[in-house]
A and B are shown apart, each in its own frame.
Chain A
Amino acid sequence: DTGVSQDPRHKITKRGQNVTFRCDPISEHNRLYWYRQTLGQGPEFLTYFQNEAQLEKSRLLSDRFSAERPKGSFSTLEIQRTEQGDSAMYLCASSQWHNRGTNEKLFFGSGTQLSVL
């Protein structure tokens, strides 16, 4: 078990460019989450997948953001036409959810730090 892996760790881009981040969850985990964290704040939920299905998206997620999890394993988060306000840490987390209505424990990656110049 290598934990949740995110790539790249850091990304610097110019305003207006597109960026894509990758997340590899813990292999047997069926749920995958994306969160965003700005300096001094707690993480904010963006979206989550159960297997390959995207089940919920936050209202924070503008049309410029898209996430996929095509085979129910790794996920990508793309931001189109980046803006300076997109600068943040993007965190991925995974969990093994059992259909028994029980609680989930999230395992987070170390995040991708995005800086938009």
Chain B
Amino acid sequence: DAKTTQPNSMESNEEEPVHLPCNHSTISGTDYIHWYRQLPSQGPEYVIHGLTSNVNNRMASLAIAEDRKSSTLILHRATLRDAAVYYCILSGSAGGTSYGKLTFGQGTILTVHP
């Protein structure tokens, strides 16, 4: 499986934008870039995903580099409820495996200060 690299931790102030980076230099052409987050004592929660183009949804934006070797999750205005571990994950169907078979790393712990 292609690997991702994320900072161990990041901090932000409430109501400020947050840019969470992810490097994935060995990404293959069919790999989707997923972001999930995990709040304390809960299971992971889907945030956003993309393939080549930038994506927006009600939770966040995903900016994908032109060469696809890196991406950035953007939270436009952080709230205290956004404090979580954020996982950047690649998934593809190479070899017939499921897109839902995700390889989680350790993620980025986001702390949001009031």
Q: Which residues of A contact B (CB under 8 A)?
A: 4, 31, 33, 40-45, 48, 55-56, 91, 93, 95, 97, 101-111
Within 8 A of A (CB), among B21-67: 32, 34, 36, 41-46, 49, 51
Task: Note all chain A residues with C-beta closer than 8 A to B51.
Answer: 103
- Cβ–Cβ contact A106 & B100, under 8 A: yes
Secondary structure class of chain A's binding surface, majority of residues? loop
Given contacts A41-B106, A104-B91, A108-B44, 13 further A-B contacts (CB under 8 A): A42-B105, A42-B106, A43-B44, A45-B102, A48-B100, A56-B101, A93-B43, A97-B98, A103-B34, A103-B99, A105-B49, A106-B46, A110-B41
Of B87, B101, B103, B105, the most chain A CB neighbours within 10 A belong to B101
Say which residue of A31, A41, A91, A105 sits within 8 Å of B98 (CB atoms).
A31
Nearest CB of chain B from residue A101's CB, rounded to whole Å: 6
- Cβ–Cβ contact A33 & B43, under 8 A: no
